[in-house]
Structure 1
Amino acid sequence: MSELSGKAFLVVGATGALGSRIARLLADRGADVTVSGRSADALAALDIAGAHAVAADLREPDAPRSIVAAAAERHGRLDGLVIAAGVVAFGALTEVDDDTVDDLLLVDFLAPLRLIRAALPVLERDGVILGISAVVAEKPMANMAAYSAAKAATAALFTAVRAEARRRKVRVVDVRPPHTETGLAGRAIAGDPPKLPAGLDPDNVAARIVEALLGTDTDVPSTAF
């Protein structure tokens, strides 16, 4: 029997550098895994043996609920939710238009809120919800004000809902890794990234996240990497 045999996890944002690694590590340990992302083709390209794929756009209000429902139905249970989806934008606040702000809030804040709201009633006892916010939730950055604010709101969400989830015997983990070489900055939805120092190895960051997911952590700050 593998370590996680009989356990079911949903990884949202599974086509990203961290989400894909997390999903693969869980599958390698024997978990049943549902992977979700916007592109069906990108999900298929992950080629994770036995993974159940659900393509959905988190900007759509009902997408989080439908993703959670599909995962729970497929596996007959849900033991963990990993929220690894996110978008980033750069630029002075006066230069960031409303459509960009809307996308930041929809994907980086409202989608996690809706995912948690959908998952809490169906997660098994001793289940876990892990969200990846960002180091900017600890240290907001100039020319990333809207993104920093969205991530800070998400970190506050994880902290506040932790006490509510405890009553359901569900652990909520907020992970805030430092700059990591995920390529996210190069896929910004607006603006150009500043010159950044070399980031952390995504393999190492993903391994630390899975350690937190399967351990007892509830808060993993940037200093823990």
Structure 2
Amino acid sequence: MEMDGARILVAGATGVIGGALAQECAQRGAAVAVAGRDPDRLAERSRALGDCPARGLEAYDLDRCLALAPWAAEQLGGLDAVIVAIGVVAFGPADQVSEEISEHLFAVNALAPMAVLRGALPLLARPGAIAAVTGVLVDRPQPGMAAYGASKAALSSWLTAVRTEQRRHGVAVVDARLPHLDTGFADRAVAGTPPGMPSPARLDEAVRGVADAVAAGAALVVPDGRGGVTVESRAH
């Protein structure tokens, strides 16, 4: 997919990763629409991207999540790609994480992204792409993060199945299994205290990797072991 002139929705653009992804797509010449939960930061993102279309997003409102792509397509005159970078984390042993927190993790990390992307599939121009940020925990589950990891793994599993379904339709499905990044995400946990984290990978390289994967119609973005990421054309 040619990024220059592409019409791209970035959901979660009020976060650090989502905001950087929206900026990266715009710098490559894409027309961008943004969505996010924080109204002030959403307005700032829109202004920074030339007053691009912007819409509030609440993960618990799955009907609104499902309607997000149709709104973006109307605003942009069509839709070529959707990137979802929404998420929340919690820490603690599995037997100490409440059902309320577990439900919250699955709603924000799995159900909401699925709804946004499901709403986009019938609308995408061909070749098109959908992408979501999952995380390295999909491949390396960690103690003290069982519920969080399971919610991200659920989204990753969904992406894997949809990739096969959509191949014949010309829609690429990107699973961005990003390494730990220095975004303050762990410090905003809804429960628990973060354990010691590994040295963060470089945000700019991770963002470029996701944009490269969307452009190339790749399958995975994974850590390269050197503080960056690599793009893989086929899932493991």
- Counterpart residue number, 2:34: 35
Matched residue type, 1:36: A
Matched residue type, 2:180: H
Residue-pair matches, total:
223
Deviations 1:157-194 (A, max 9, x none): 11111011112210001110111111110111111101
How is 1:22-101 mapped onto 2 (pairs within 5 angstroms)? 22-46=21-45, 47-101=48-102
Structure 1 stretches lacking a partner, 5+ long = none
Q: Match of 1:197, SS? A: coil
Q: Match of 2:123, SS? A: coil
Taking structure 2 as the reference length, the TM-score comes to 0.90
How is 1:65-144 mapped onto 2 (pairs within 5 angstroms)? 65-144=66-145
Between the aligned partners of 1:220 and 1:33, the Cα distance in structure 2 is 21
- Counterpart residue number, 1:218: 219
- Give the direction of change, closer, same or farther, for the CA distance of 1:206–1:5 in structure 2 (3 Å limit): closer
- State the 1:63 CA deviation: 2.0
- Counterpart residue number, 1:20: 19
Between the aligned partners of 2:6 and 2:205, the Cα distance in structure 1 is 23
Tell me, yes or no, if the aligned pair for 2:68 and 2:119 is still in contact at 8 Å. Answer: no
Matched residue type, 1:10: L
- State the 1:56 CA deviation: 1.4
Between the aligned partners of 1:186 and 1:48, the Cα distance in structure 2 is 27
Matched residue type, 1:162: R
Among the aligned pairs, what percent are the same residue? 39
Q: Match of 1:36, SS? A: strand
How is 1:186-205 mapped onto 2 (pairs within 5 angstroms)? 186-205=187-206
How is 1:180-191 mapped onto 2 (pairs within 5 angstroms)? 180-191=181-192
Tell me, yes or no, if the aligned pair for 1:84 and 1:132 is still in contact at 8 Å. Answer: yes
Between the aligned partners of 1:222 and 1:151, the Cα distance in structure 2 is 16
Deviations 1:37-68 (A, max 9, x none): 01121111222214211111012121212211
Taking structure 1 as the reference length, the TM-score comes to 0.94
Matched residue type, 1:218: A
- Counterpart residue number, 1:145: 146
Between the aligned partners of 2:116 and 2:79, the Cα distance in structure 1 is 13
Q: Match of 2:67, SS? A: helix
Tell me, yes or no, if the aligned pair for 2:90 and 2:145 is still in contact at 8 Å. Answer: yes
- State the 1:221 CA deviation: 2.4
- Counterpart residue number, 1:168: 169
Matched residue type, 2:64: A
Aligned Cα RMSD in Å? Answer: 1.4
Tell me, yes or no, if the aligned pair for 2:67 and 2:116 is still in contact at 8 Å. Answer: no
Structure 2 stretches lacking a partner, 5+ long = 230-236
Q: Match of 2:150, SS? A: helix
Tell me, yes or no, if the aligned pair for 2:179 and 2:200 is still in contact at 8 Å. Answer: yes
- Counterpart residue number, 1:158: 159
Matched residue type, 1:127: G
